[in-house]
Amino acid sequence: MTRNIRILLSSTIAVVVIGAAGLVASTLIPAPAPKIASLVTGSIGGPFTLTAADGRTVTDQTYQGTWLLIYFGYTSCPDACPTALNNMGVALDRLGPDAAALQPIFITVDPKRDTREVLADYLKSFDPHIVALTGTADQIAAVAKEYRVYVSAHSESGNDYTVDHSNLHYLINPNGRFVNVLPGDLPGDDMADRLRELMKHTV
């Protein structure tokens, strides 16, 4: 084997080894988070017009200057919604005087069954500070889209059907901007601690 051929083979092997090492490194080092995530987060929330259980018209401007904690669900929900609303009530109690700066809101994703009267009766089982909102099918679809809420109704048989939906609390600051989400099944004490932290350190 000539000297030139040996050099050529050595160079080729080195390139292959370096390339393999680079491939391994790229799989071990986590890629940076995509910048688009912040853009999607910033686009959560927006204008809406809905009707409260007491008949009042409520818009995104109604509670301007107040922190909002919004949960999307429905009154026939078997587990997730009652748990989330109970957790919300416990969090409000745990917050004490700080709860005065926060307005909890329950928005139905099932306007067909959740009339004002149904919502008013449903809320009797939860913290009295929670405001329940409903609206037309188009109004509910619009606000769900604004908040990027997943909603999927199962096949209907009269009024006997279920609705899959996101199980999240959405925190909105007094300027109407989205801050963060909290899991619907987050225990009330933990929720209060998290809310206090977010409300204290978020502009």
Query: In Å, how far from its chain's centre is CA 161?
Result: 23
The model's pTM: 0.78
Summarised one tens digit per residue, pLDDT across range 148-191 is: 999 998 876 677 889 999 999 999 999 999 999 999 999 999 99
> Bridge partners of 165?
151
pLDDT bucket at 6, cuts 50 / 70 / 90: very low
Q: Which residues touch 43 (CB under 8 Å, ≥6 apart)? A: 148
- In whole angstroms, give the CA distance from residue 27 to residue 43: 31
Asked if pLDDT for residue 7 goes beyond 60, the answer is: no
Summarised one tens digit per residue, pLDDT across range 25-61 is: 333 333 333 332 333 455 899 899 999 999 999 998 9
Q: Give phi and psi for 6, each to the nearest 5.
A: -60, -40
Measured between alpha carbons, how far is residue 157 from residues 38, 74, 162, 173 in Å? 41, 17, 10, 40
What pLDDT is attached to residue 203?
61
Find the mean pLDDT for residues 124-139.
96
